[in-house]
Amino acid sequence: DDSKVSVQKATYEILKSERMDDMECVKVD
């Protein structure tokens, strides 16, 4: 269970960072 939670957290962090990048790209455009 702990491993699943850590994986979910890691995935969430990755998605969050990717979304931030997307937003930054949009701002640049």
**Amino acid, single-letter form, for residue 17:** S
What pLDDT shows up at residue 8?
A: 93
What pLDDT shows up at residue 16?
A: 86
What pLDDT shows up at residue 6?
A: 93
Indicate whether 13 pLDDT > 70.
yes
Instruction: Decide which of 29 and 21 is more confident.
Output: 21
Tell me if the pTM is above 0.75.
no
The pLDDT confidence band at residue 27, using thresholds 50, 70 and 90, is low
Burial of residue 23, with CB atoms counted within 10 A of its CB: 0-12 exposed, 13-18 middle, 19 or more buried: exposed
Task: Determine the longest span between alpha carbons in the chain, in angstroms.
Answer: 42
Residue 27's φ and ψ, nearest 5 degrees, are -60, -40
- The predicted model gives 5-22 an average pLDDT of 86
